[in-house]
Amino acid sequence: MTIPVQRAADPREAAVSNLREARMALDEGRPGDALEFAEKAVAAFSWLDDAEGVAHSVLAQSVALGKRGLLPGALDTIDRVQAIAAANRHVGLQAWCSFSQAVVELRLDSRERSLHSLARALGLAELTKDVELIGSILYEQATVLRTQYHEHCMVRSPASRCSPDGEPCTRKLRRAEALCAQVRDRWKHLDQPLRMARLNLLLTHVRLDLGEVDRALRSCRRADQLLTGQDRPVLRAELLMARARISGARGRCDEQVRQLTRAAELAMGVLAREVAVRAHGALSQAYERAGKLEPALRHARSQLEQYRLWELQEGRDLLRMREHDLSARLVDQLAERTVGLRRDTRSAPDPLRSSATAEQDNRRIARALRAGLTRRGIEVLRRVAAGESTAAIAAELSLSPKTVQNHLQRIYRTLDVRDRAGAAVWWVDLEDEARARAVVD
């Protein structure tokens, strides 16, 4: 009797999946998770000798770093990848570089610069017919227009609601709505329900800003349908907040409070502090409008508490990202080895190669990637298998011993082993995978 064993995912398929998840995490405001997925994608594409994949993963990593505050380093890395793409006349990668730069510039509150970068990215993306990227650029442009509406118009009296250039504010919202329609046309054939759900949520808020509650409700229902069966608590919380705005516009205060309360619970449950801050702020305002000052004050305090936790979380992530930032070294490798965005196989051998044959080493790396280890995790595991101490590994990789211990604990959990000896045996024992394949065959 044979026991069915599920085959490990194809390394290239896993790399593409991790890159997609990194981009989705960025879209959902989870830069910490985005960094983890980007690291796995970088590791996989590196060992697959796919320089273009490495470049795209480095861009995702740079945007994650920028969203957490490492702005100069993120922009510098993007500029260097842009130079490599330009030298190789890779228009598609240049477009992604301009788009990544625009996203980081938004974090800098440089909206005019960001719009300029988005326009440049759109021109390049149109040349390559990359509908996914074109849709992403148009989506960001719509988001910026809505942000400008709130900054320039909502703080003014109704009689003077015009932007600084004299353009009526509602025209910005109409332009944002038209951009959303263009995004829908680009994305509707991609079979990506999460992207379409985000688009419909943005359209819901734009239409609520325009006072078109019924049309907003239709967009909200469409987003709900697209999220059916999807395990995305952050998007679910965003959906509940959109529904709460609709309930508030219809005067259903109790329903609005219930939806916002559920949204806050979902956000706090997955440590999405930014969403939790907005949910508690909306709850405080809803109670204040209802004349219930005590719960309004309580949620204002909760909003402040979540904001402080958000800052602490950002600080911890920032320290971790500084420690894990491989972007500069990866860009140096790309610059040295890239010819037509393909790594030169005649480059000098990797100094990490052990005495085992290159084929065995590659098999071990591919197996570790399929198991879920990151590039840094593989670097630590290889040295553990070679018998190096924690202090030696820390000195060689420019890490602290505590950080190496943290890497080891993650390796033990991922590989389901108990200690260094078990991890070393796992790395060396290629026959384990062969036996699993034999059982399946």
How far is residue 64's CA from residue 330's CA, in Å, rounded to a whole number? 16
What's the one-letter identity of residue 433? E
Q: Quick one: pLDDT at residue 293?
A: 86
Q: Which of 153, 151, 126, 210 is nearest to 176 (CA)?
A: 210
How far is residue 258's CA from residue 405's CA, in Å, rounded to a whole number? 44
- The predicted model scores a pTM of 0.69
Q: Which residue has the tokens 């477009």?
A: 95
Q: Quick one: pLDDT at residue 217?
A: 94
How far is residue 74's CA from residue 67's CA, in Å, rounded to a whole number? 9
Q: Which of 395, 376, 385 is nearest to 420 (CA)?
A: 385
Integer angstrom CA distances of residue 361 from 63, 68, 209, 356, 411: 32, 35, 58, 7, 18
Instruction: For residue 8, report the phi and psi dihedrals to the nearest 5 degrees.
Output: -70, 150
Q: Quick one: pLDDT at residue 71?
A: 74
Q: Quick one: pLDDT at residue 157?
A: 47
Spell out the domains of the chain, with CATH numbers in brackets: 130-230 (1.25.40), 358-440 (1.10.10.10)
pLDDT tens, N- to C-terminus, the chain (441 residues): 333 433 445 778 888 889 999 988 888 778 878 888 988 888 888 888 888 888 899 899 888 888 777 777 788 888 888 888 888 888 999 999 999 999 988 877 667 788 888 999 999 999 988 899 999 999 999 998 888 888 766 545 444 445 444 456 788 899 999 999 999 999 988 888 988 999 999 999 999 999 999 999 999 999 999 999 888 898 999 999 999 999 999 989 899 999 999 999 998 888 777 888 888 888 888 888 888 888 888 888 888 887 777 666 655 555 444 444 445 555 555 555 454 454 333 333 333 333 345 556 667 777 887 788 887 888 888 888 887 888 888 888 878 888 888 889 889 888 888 888 788 888 877 555 544 444 444
Q: And the tokens for 86?
A: 């330009």
How far is residue 121's CA from residue 209's CA, in Å, rounded to a whole number? 28
How far is residue 258's CA from residue 365's CA, in Å, rounded to a whole number? 50
Q: Quick one: pLDDT at residue 314?
A: 59
Q: Which residue has the tokens 């790309």?
A: 334
How far is residue 42's CA from residue 84's CA, in Å, rounded to a whole number? 17
Per 3-state DSSP, the chain is made up of helix, strand and coil in percentages (nearest 5) of: 75, 0, 20
Q: Quick one: pLDDT at residue 355?
A: 37
How far is residue 111's CA from residue 416's CA, in Å, rounded to a whole number? 47
Q: Quick one: pLDDT at residue 394?
A: 85
DSSP track, 310-326: HHHHHHHHHHHHHHH--
Q: Quick one: pLDDT at residue 27?
A: 83
Q: Quick one: pLDDT at residue 323?
A: 46
Per residue in 96-123, is it b (16+ CB within 10 Å) or e — as a string?
bbbbbbbbbbbbeeebeebbebbebbbe
Q: Which residue has the tokens 């910005």?
A: 172
Q: Quick one: pLDDT at residue 196?
A: 93
Q: And the tokens for 195?
A: 């992207």
Q: Please tell me what DSSP assigns to residue 386.
A: T
Neighbours of 441 (CB within 10 A): 6
Residue 252, strand partner residues: none
Q: Quick one: pLDDT at residue 89?
A: 85
